[in-house]
Amino acid sequence: MAKLYFTYSSMNAGKSTLLLQASYNYRERGMGTLLLTAALDDRAGAGTIASRIGIADRAELYADGDDLFERLRARQAEAAAADGPDLACVLVDEAQFLSPAQVWQLARAADDLGLPVMCYGLRTDFRGELFPGSAALMAIADSLREARTICHCGRNATMVARLDAEGRAMAEGAQVEVGGNERYVALCRSHWRTALETGAPVPAPVKVDR
Provide the annotated active-site residues.
94
H-state helical runs in 5-67: 15-28
Name the nearest CA neighbour of 37 among 7, 14, 58, 15. 58
**CA-CA-CA-CA dihedral for 58, 56, 25, 113, to nearest 10:** -30
3-state secondary structure of 67: coil
Measured N-to-C along each axis, helices 100-113 and 132-140 cross at an angle, to the nearest 10 degrees, of: 30
